[in-house]
A and B are shown apart, each in its own frame.
Chain A
């Protein structure tokens, strides 16, 4: 498993596509679909954690894939409880995915920073 993180619009997917030679039909956009087996790249992981309280049933699908996620935690902790809970479970999951990943890369302005 490989985890790619970074802020919005930093070029995370473009970088992953060129670095790992991912083809368009191998990418599953979690903003428009729940996870399905057989994809090489799952992007917009933050959309999945926003929709569901518990995403653990799908985590095994990511085992041999590239997971792409936005960083959410650098703003003010919001007043709204649901918004807070989303950041909380997203952060916890990213730590879990990162610990099980062979490599973790943060993308900044199109450039990679290898964290693991």
Chain B
């Protein structure tokens, strides 16, 4: 099963995704972390996330770009956290703006979702404010939305998390969560 989970920051996307993965898994559980830490705040956040999932049975893959290079077992269930950081790394990681990053992320995530048994991709919802951004930030926002809409077309479930509660826009999680 392929699930896309959207929501604001600290809305409960990761914990919801982890729970879905644990219930879906019939093989190895993989937590795919995409954040490339750039300061002590990021490092502290990573430690907190690792503690959060301690004892849940996840094996961690830390890979924030070129995700095609990592092998995963065909029967694995992947918690992919998150599309937001993957696109940022692919778009800005080389020190200049890579305008093709969005298309590459779409292809790479489609490829990854075909190589495992289940995948839950989480992504931050960043499109409902009135800020007029600079051209580069606006490109990132547009491409992130396109990645999500493209994934949403082929995925089985599309949901929005708010306060840890999921509302489904496509498909249903009732059978998994009940």
User: C-beta contact mask, B115-144 vs A, less than 8 Å → 1, else 0?
Assistant: 000000000010111110000000001100
Cα distance A37–B141 when bound, in Å?
Answer: 33
Main secondary structure of the interface of A (DSSP, over half): loop
Main secondary structure of the interface of B (DSSP, over half): mixed
Total count of chain A residues near the partner, CB < 8 A: 24
Contact A74 B149 (CB under 8 A): no
> Given A9-B141, A9-B145, A9-B146, do A111 and B170 touch, yes or no (CB 8 Å)?
yes
Q: Is B173 in contact with chain A by the CB < 8 A criterion?
A: no
Q: Is B161 in contact with chain A by the CB < 8 A criterion?
A: no
> Given A72-B129, A83-B130, do A8 and B148 touch, yes or no (CB 8 Å)?
no
18 pairs, A vs B, C-beta closer than 8 Å: A8-B127, A8-B141, A9-B149, A10-B145, A11-B149, A72-B129, A72-B130, A73-B128, A73-B129, A74-B128, A74-B129, A76-B129, A83-B130, A86-B130, A108-B160, A111-B152, A111-B158, A111-B170
Which A positions have Cβ atoms within 8 angstroms of B?
Answer: 6-11, 46, 70-76, 78, 83, 86-87, 90, 108-111, 113
